[in-house]
Amino acid sequence: MDIQWFATGAGTIVLLYIVYQFIQIVWRIIGTYVICQPINLKRKAGANWAVVTGATDGIGKSYCFELAKRGFNIYLVSRTQSKLEQTKKEILEKHSDIEVRYATYDFTNPSPNDYQELLAQLNDVNVGILINNVGMFFDHPDVIHKVEGGLDTLANVAIVNVLPPTLLSAGILSQMVSRKTGIIVNIGSAAGSVPMAGWSVYSASKKYISWLTATLRKEYGHQGITFQTITPLMVATKMAGNPNTSFFCPDSDTYAKSALNTIGNSSDTTGYITHQLEFEMMNLLPECILDVAVKRSSNELRERALAKNKEKLLQ
């Protein structure tokens, strides 16, 4: 009799756990992207300036335009002055009622002293939102000792993906803490959710982003500051190899609008409903099956990149 009760109880607990997990998955897809309404970002940020790194291309640039549309002044940070000037011009042509500033910084530079100089510029304004978007990937996936560019590339990927969200968050949080309002969004990647063969340092550095953001949330969440990790899958950007848009691959403008709408409704999400669907399905797969899928995808990306490089050499 005791064994029967134990078996029944254990079965009930397992069933309840499965139901709970299913509800969680459904909520992360439907709740975040369909049911929940976007919050008032201005009120949650508590200040009018938004700082965006990697602001002149792809997702970062689209974040800038979407934030400008919502009434934020924009502080662009990137390494190429000509691109910064052009992006500033483009934003002001569409949104003449806001202010746009920029700062040049090459994020492969790990110098704390140079970061202090950058932070001195950024802290000259009241930063309501910090979007740590800047990131770097390999030319194509490969095993670590064969990565194109060798040790220099590996070092730069680690530095660019890890240091900016760490040091910029640390340097801007003091003003947010004093106001007890602010938003920090760290752009990671779905590649950080599982160890991915061929992606080595990139995958590991994106895992760091999720871990760092979760830790900061525990340290500062009670002080009125919102932290969010965004983990996109494929977005049609230059960094992703400019793939065609599709149901699962939005353009950067569509993606940035969707991702901004999730702030305050989800602390860790992919930023786009079909990405979330893919992500949840991916997490349900056994690791051995996922490894096969990653290997196939990596090989396709590698072959495509090598073909493009060969094409450039023949031109």
Separation between Cα atoms, residue 22 and residue 27, nearest integer Å: 9
Spatial CA neighbour of 161 closest among 128, 131, 194, 137 = 137
Locate tokens 């309840």: which residue?
16
Say which DSSP state 270 is in. Answer: -
List residues with catalytic annotation: 202
In the predicted model, what is the mean pLDDT of the chain?
93
Would you say residue 290 has pLDDT above 80? yes
Residue 52 pairs with which residues in a beta bridge?
Answer: 76, 131
> For the chain, which domains are there?
36-309 (3.40.50.720)
Q: Are 193 and 278 in contact (CB under 8 A)?
A: no
Q: Report helix, strand or coil for 79.
A: coil
In whole angstroms, how far apart are CA 159 and each of 98, 162, 278?
A: 32, 5, 29
Structure confidence at residue 3 (pLDDT): 72
What would the pLDDT profile of 39-82 be if each residue is shown by its tens digit? 999 999 999 999 999 999 999 999 999 999 999 999 999 999 99
Q: Are 38 and 116 in contact (CB under 8 A)?
A: no
| Contacts for 3 with CB less than 8 Å, ≥ 6 apart | none
Provide mean pLDDT across the span 253-280: 97
Query: Would you place residue 178 in the very low, low, confident or very high pLDDT band (cuts 50, 70, 90)?
Result: very high
pTM of the model: 0.92
Separation between Cα atoms, residue 282 and residue 293, nearest integer Å: 10
Structure confidence at residue 13 (pLDDT): 84
What would the pLDDT profile of 35-51 be if each residue is shown by its tens digit? 999 999 999 999 999 99
